[in-house]
Amino acid sequence: MMEMGLYQQQNLSLVMTTELRQAIAILQYPGYELSSFLQEQANENPLIEVVEPAGIVGRSPRQRKTSPSAGMPVSFEEYISSEETLHETLQKQSILLPLTAKERKMLDFIILSIDDNGFLTVSSEEAAKHFAVPEETIENLIRHIQEMEPAGIGARSIQECLLLQLAAEGMENSLPWRLVLTFLDKLAERKIKQISIALQTSPDEIQKAADFIQKLNPRPGKIFAHGRTEGYLYPDVTVNHSNGQFSIAFNDRYNPSVKLNSDYEPVHFIAKKDGPSKYLQDQYAKFQWLQKAVEQRRQTLIKIVSEVVKVQESYFSGKGQHLVPLTLKQIADATGMHESTISRAVKHKVIQTPAGARELKTFFTAKIETNDGGTASASSAKQAIKELIEKEDKNKPLSDQQICELLSKESGLAISRRTVAKYREELLLPSSSKRKRFA
């Protein structure tokens, strides 16, 4: 029988405080996300003033549809304002359409139902029920949208998106049109011979048509994604190399900071009889902590990048093209930080190198064995795979096993066929059957 009673017991447990959670968040935010976080803090604390970075700004809108130098037409992507959203662009194009007030309301509803990829997410049946109108009325409005720029916008499927782009080029009933209309699945599987037999056309002609289709944009709305900042790298740290010496600088141009609101002075918060209210004292303590956390992020990044440069010195100095193996644990040991801290700090960060901007995490690469008992980095293996595929005979592309054997023979890299397949997929390179060409 269990005896009832009161007992004392000591337990050790780690409590994740609000400050600790925020410190972790601040460490892993890239500059443009840190700005948003700090602004939220400033909205809650009147003492905090955010110093926004000068480097993360939208590009000015282009006002011409022709190149200033040659008068040549430029793409729709070049023409639109860098800060304009997809929905704003479509609504602007709809202004001249002869629509009633109700039709315009329905058109705006349809435009706002287009996702970031440019695809319509509401069916004509659903929209018709919503507005209590015939489905044909909605279809007519969808057709108006599909005639707008960028070509392919407002489609309900990849197939319709590609057909709209071909129609915009006046290519109805062309070979690319027929391929998209009837053989899109087989085309994705690179079954060129099967298609050529079905259409009684040479594999060479099918290949040329397939090449043209590949140049179309299957996600026309993406040019507007996130204010079109996608693809632009904002470096947190810059590494320069001159006269055999490295200099490492934190980029204030792309990273926000905080300062005390100019309406207040530090002397206001000194504890004394007639001192500030408890509220202001608390807010000042939070400001000081936030300022310290932002500075700690800066120092942590500088320390990590300094150690990375030491290990990857050959790459940064331009003497070597490939990175050497490097793990988070190595940097953790060198800096005296925890491995999880290193992991959070390198996440989404970018460094400017003499060879261009790169994500910090790309300098950490796994170790693989070589035939002579040495080691090489996974990134060098990936580069070797990419080069072999670029140089291969496209009529007889290399299988993963053949790539594996060539890596061993030419580069001394001892990796398995499965590892080759894994690295190839990470490089977004298709298998040999899908790389095969007939022209």
Residuewise pLDDT in 10s, the chain (439 residues): 556 656 566 655 444 466 667 778 888 888 878 888 888 888 888 889 988 876 654 333 333 333 333 444 445 555 554 457 888 889 889 988 899 999 999 999 999 899 888 999 989 999 999 899 999 999 999 999 999 999 999 999 999 999 999 999 899 999 999 999 999 998 888 888 999 999 999 999 999 998 899 889 999 988 876 444 444 567 889 999 888 889 999 988 888 889 988 777 665 555 555 556 788 888 888 999 999 999 999 999 999 999 999 988 888 887 766 788 888 999 999 999 998 889 889 988 888 888 788 889 888 877 676 666 666 777 778 888 888 888 888 888 888 898 888 888 887 778 888 888 888 888 888 888 888 877 6
Looking at the fold, whether 88 and 188 belong to one and the same domain comes out as yes
Q: Is residue 232 in some structural domain?
A: no
DSSP 241: E
DSSP 247: E
Structural domain containing residue 399: 367-435
Q: Which of 363, 398, 423 marks a domain boundary?
A: 363
* Contact between residue 294 and residue 257 where contact means Cβ atoms under 8 Å apart: yes
Q: Which helix (H) or strand (E) holds 364?
A: none
Q: What's the pLDDT at 26?
A: 87
Looking at the fold, whether 147 and 246 belong to one and the same domain comes out as no
* Contact between residue 217 and residue 191 where contact means Cβ atoms under 8 Å apart: no
Q: Quick one: CA dihedral 29, 35, 41, 44, positive or negative? A: negative
- Nearest alpha-carbon partner for 373 in 325, 423, 420, 414: 414
Looking at the fold, whether 136 and 189 belong to one and the same domain comes out as yes
CA–CA distance, 250 with 360 (Å, rounded to integer): 13
CA–CA distance, 253 with 350 (Å, rounded to integer): 13
Q: What's the pLDDT at 309?
A: 92
- Nearest alpha-carbon partner for 288 in 26, 32, 47, 17: 47
Looking at the fold, whether 204 and 133 belong to one and the same domain comes out as yes
- If phi > 0 it is left, if psi is from -120 to 50 it is alpha, else beta; for residue 60 that is beta
Looking at the fold, whether 143 and 248 belong to one and the same domain comes out as no
CA–CA distance, 53 with 282 (Å, rounded to integer): 27
Q: How many other C-beta atoms can be found within 10 angstroms of the C-beta atom of residue 63?
A: 7
List the beta strands (DSSP E) in 146-267: 237-242, 245-250, 257-260
Q: Is residue 3 in some structural domain?
A: no
Q: Which of 326, 343, 363 marks a domain boundary?
A: 363
CA–CA distance, 37 with 373 (Å, rounded to integer): 48
How many structural domains are present in the chain? 3
